[in-house]
Amino acid sequence: MVNTKKYLVAGVGIVIVVAIMVSFTSYLGQIEEIQKQDASQSNEMAVGKGSPALGLETATVTIVEMGDYQCEMCKRWYDNTRPMIIENFVKTGKANFVFLDLPILGPDSGSAANATYCAADQNRYWAYHEMLYDYQGHMNSGWASVDRLHSFAFNLGLDMNEFEECLSSGKYEMRVKFNADKARSVASATPTFLIVNTSGVQEKIVGAQPYAVFERVIESLL
């Protein structure tokens, strides 16, 4: 009888231990899921409704630039730092790159931003984005007038009827405004960068900093 009680007590103890282990495993699973959701929400907050990702969507790090197509410092960063980031991190699959509109320098800024999404309708967002910086003119000088924006599209071989209809309708004005509101919540100047990894860890870089600054931050988040 005593032995039976011992077995019963031992059996109950095993059941309790198993129940605790199952409960703890379930708890860890819930924590992991919450962390994944937090990371996803953090990344969504950073990206807004910005550009298509340049590079692998599954990359460990996302580099978000908040910029203005009329910004001279954005142009300087585009010319001097961006090429090395694309070569060493984007093309290697370690990072992807997203542009978030922050058109704060006048009407041409908003017009140019709108035009990029019209180009995106024809899968040429990045080609159009690069053309805007390659041919950036003096601020609000008319370099991003409707005629110039049309000519950029024509030079890229876009369907002009589709592009012109998109631009004239203001199809993406609300998207650009949404992006600007998102960007203003973390940036007061252009360019500003948020570098985010899949765990939701973020680092902020302000200004057209040299490649070494970005390399150090990106490597720390991989």
Confidence check: pLDDT of 53 > 70: yes
- pTM of structure: 0.78
Could you tell me the pLDDT band of residue 28, with boundaries at 50, 70 and 90?
very low
**Tokens of residue 191, six digits:** 């360019």
Q: What is the mean pLDDT of the chain?
A: 84
pLDDT above 60 (res 206): yes
Tens of pLDDT, residue by residue over 93-114, are 999 999 999 999 998 999 999 9
In contact, 142 and 148? CB cutoff 8 Å: yes
Q: CB-based burial of residue 60 (10 Å sphere; 0-12 exposed, 13-18 middle, 19+ buried)?
A: middle
Cα angle 175-163-123, degrees, rounded to a multiple of 5: 70
User: Domain ranges in the chain?
Assistant: 49-221
Quick one: 49-221 is in which CATH superfamily? Glutaredoxin (3.40.30.10)
pLDDT at 41 over 70: no
- CA 216 to chain CA mean position, Å: 19
